[in-house]
Amino acid sequence: MGYLLLAGAIAAEVAATTAMKYSAGFSRLWPSLLTALGYVVSFALLARTLRTVQIGTAYAIWSGVGTATVAVLGLLLFGEGLNPTKVAGILLIIGGVVVLNLGGAH
């Protein structure tokens, strides 16, 4: 159940960060409200996750998967560039999350 809550926390954080881009510096009401709501939901779900998942593992997954997802959404939704350095960075984030999970299994 903890990892399901964590997935929800990641989805809410990614939605909030994406809405923040659409808020135009918090000058647009609805995207700004969605940003605030998304972060509240994300932190609430992350807090619930910490009841059953180790904090280091949960935070690494939350931040790593969220960062990689937002980077991909930046490419798809906002036309942000993708170069070998960014690809390497995303792969390193994913690799770090995998290594932390393998270490947490012992």
14-26: string of b/e by CB count within 10 Å (b at 16+)?
A: bbbbbbbeebeee
- The DSSP annotation for 11-26 comes to HHHHHHHHHHHHTTTT
Say what the pLDDT of residue 104 is.
60
pTM above 0.95, yes or no: no
Lowest mean pLDDT among 19-23, 46-50, 70-74: 70-74
